[in-house]
Amino acid sequence: MTPADAPAQEWQVSQWFNTPAPLSLGALRGRVVMAVAFQMLCPGCVSQALPQAQRVREAFREEDVAVIGLHTVFEHHDAMAPTSLKAFLHEYRIGLPVGVDEPDATCAIPHTMAAYQMRGTPTLLLYDRQGRLRRHMFGHVSDMQLGADVMALVGSQGDSRFRAETAGACTAEGCA
């Protein structure tokens, strides 16, 4: 791992989906970056982490926060090859840029997953505008905690998108 005040290690990606050009931490410098390491057959990734990543993307401005996925396959490799991932992203309508963590010829753990010493999937990585790793977490957190944490990194120059819903709310005319 790199020192806390240095930019974090780059992702090692063999193939990208949903982006016109490869992405890198370096190229995203200046924005907060949230990366979700996932596997397409990991139940908690599909039901929790990926939908949450899409909510982060909707809650913040694109110029403030970049959200990407990393497909870190460490088991059932033949069931989660890039061709399967492509079908998964299409069927689940996942529009996030997703990079395939580079497989290791001699080990089940792919390169980025190993370099970051991830315990499993999903793993959340949060980087500040200087590309420094500020959160590294296995599992998932609540939307409120994540919204707060991302905002702490976005800082005062950013803003969230505030939209109210009124289902069940009451006015003098009755309850919606």
Catalog residues that contact a second copy under the rule CB under 8 A. Answer: 39, 41-48, 55-56, 59-60, 74-76, 78-80, 83-84, 86-88, 90-93, 108, 119-122, 135, 137-152, 154-156, 159-172, 175-176
Q: How far is the CB of 94 from a second copy (least distance, A)?
A: 10
Q: Based on CB atoms, which residue is closest to a second copy, 99 or 122?
A: 122
Q: How far is the CB of 90 from a second copy (least distance, A)?
A: 8
Q: Based on CB atoms, which residue is closest to a second copy, 27 or 81?
A: 81
Q: Based on CB atoms, which residue is closest to a second copy, 22 or 95?
A: 95
Q: How far is the CB of 21 from a second copy (least distance, A)?
A: 25
Q: How far is the CB of 112 from a second copy (least distance, A)?
A: 16
Crossing angle of helices 50-59 and 143-154, in 10° steps, is 40
Q: Based on CB atoms, which residue is closest to a second copy, 7 or 82?
A: 82
For residue 123, give Cα distances in angstroms to 3, 119, 131, 161, 164.
20, 8, 17, 25, 30
Q: Based on CB atoms, which residue is closest to a second copy, 13 or 59?
A: 59
Q: How far is the CB of 124 from a second copy (least distance, A)?
A: 8
Nearest Cα to Cα of residue 69 among 16, 28, 111, 115: 16
CB 85 within 8 A of CB 100: yes
Q: Give the integer Cα–Cα distance in Å for 157 and 154.
A: 7
Structure tokens at 2: 């790199």
**What's phi and psi for 97, nearest 5 deg?**
-60, 130
Structure tokens at 134: 């500020």
